[in-house]
Structure 1
Amino acid sequence: MRLLTAFCLMLVLTSTARAEDVDAQASASTTLNAAPEKPEVTRQRQLDALLGKLHTAPANADVSKTEDEIWQIWVRNDSPTAEVLLRQSSAAISAGDYDPAEQMLSQALETYPKYAEAWNRRAALYYLIKRYDAALIDADHALALEPRNFGALIGKGLILQAQKKHDEAKAAFEEALQINPHLDAVAAMLKQIERDRPNI
């Protein structure tokens, strides 16, 4: 069960990190071409279309490209500074440098409190260092701003599971699967929760 939990967390962190790398290249290209920022309505339409693709894709389809495109939208911010702080914090988390990562994410959130992915990333960080109450608060902030962020829902489920709130964790995992049915590790975790229920 611990291995599956760790795998789910790494799935979220590596997916967002991969999207950051791709989005950094896209941002550089956008700057060179002097293309204007897309309005929020366009962003939501893009998300609607991409999340819809996840639902129409066959069960065994490779949806990694679609997931990457979704994460690219979620990690994007109007401020290049906020995006740099997010990328640097990701590198720090990967290196195990948790204090600098927390400082960078807190700095981003002080200036850009509506940056949902920064809340989500700090929630993941707090989960890693077992500050579960703080992690849950940040996960809820992320989901208030971006309710369809299946990564934040996975993170919330992991936090609740660590707090022994198994029914609430199950509900968070189920919601994540409703948004993205291709989260095989999450589906496996739900089955494990059901198997362990008599022992909970």
Structure 2
Amino acid sequence: MRFFYFVPVLILAALAASSAPAEEPVTDATVASAPTPETLESKLFDALKRERDPEKARSIASQIMASWKDSGSATVAFLMQWADTSIDQKKNAAALDFLDQVTVLKPDYAEAWNRRATLHYAMGDTRKSMADINEVLKRNPRYFPAIAGMATILTESGQDELALKAWERYLDIYPAEREAQQAVEKLSEKLAGNRT
């Protein structure tokens, strides 16, 4: 499936070559300098870490999350769409089947693991949710929605110190998130009160 990822790059290079002025031909170096999805994501994460305005940070975070949804596979995209439809229709077993298929077909696709973690959580199975969150973070340690899910589960289970560490990890990636800031403040106060 990786072949299809490079096709747009080749098409763009061909288009650029046909529209470039004669004195500036497109070379291999020009194509090589085109930003990769990883480079763009890294720049977005740098911007997210620096941004202090919550609205602007939310916009950057949305761009990052949108990039994670692209699996590079039409089959996976259809399965994810069917899983979403099944979730909307409260057909959780069918949704789990679709998400299971995605994790088998494309095990490195963190979004499927995260979606399955969210569904397990909604179904009340925090053990399976945490197992899927761990799979997400193995594939993408900066996947901040999964870190938030982990922190929420840890808080609900009374593991405040671990929850605080998870929220701090989240804020290291996404410092302008107000809800995470409030969670850290609340947990810090609670833990400080327990120590006195």
- TM-superposed CA distance for 1:61, in Å, is 4.5
Which structure has the bigger radius of gyration? 2
Task: Give the drift of 1:121.
Answer: 1.0
Q: What's the TM-score once normalised by structure 1's chain length?
A: 0.73
Q: Identity over aligned residues, as a percent?
A: 24
Using the alignment, how far apart are the partners of 2:88 and 2:171 within structure 1?
26
State how far apart, in whole Å, the 1-side matches of 2:185 and 2:91 are.
34
- Structure 1 residues 54 and 86, CA, compared in 2 at 3 Å: closer, same or farther? same
Q: Does 1:104 align with 2:98?
A: yes
Q: Distance in 1 between matches of 2:124 and 2:45?
A: 31
Deviations along 1:136-163, one digit per CA (max 9) or x if unpaired, are 1110110110111111111111122233
1:168 partnered with 2:185: no
The equivalent residue for 2:50 is 56
Number of aligned residue pairs: 168
Higher relative contact order (CA 8 A, sep 6+): 1
Counting only pairs closer than 5 Å after superposition, residues 120-139 of structure 1 correspond to structure 2 as: 120-139=114-133
Q: Provide Cα deviations, 1:18-43, integer angstroms capped at 9, x if missing partner.
A: xxxxxxxxxxxx99xx624999x822
Moved more, 161-170 or 124-133: 161-170
What are the equivalent positions in structure 2 for 1:1-200 lying under 5 Å apart? 35-36=8-9, 42-197=36-191, 198=193
Letter in 1 for 2:172: Q
What amino acid maps onto 1:113 in structure 2? P
Q: Which runs of 5+ in 2 are unaligned?
A: 13-31
Q: 1:57 to 1:147 in 2, by over 3 A?
A: same
Partner in structure 1 of residue 28 of structure 2 = none
Cα separation, partners in 2 of 1:96 and 1:199, compared to 1, 3 Å: farther
Q: 3-state DSSP class of the match of 1:58?
A: coil
SS of the equivalent of 1:113 reads coil
Is contact 1:117-1:142 (8 Å) kept?
A: yes
Q: Counterpart amino acid of 1:65?
A: S
Q: Which amino acid aligns with 2:77?
A: E
Structure 1 position 72, deviation (Å): 1.6
TM-score normalised by L of structure 2: 0.75
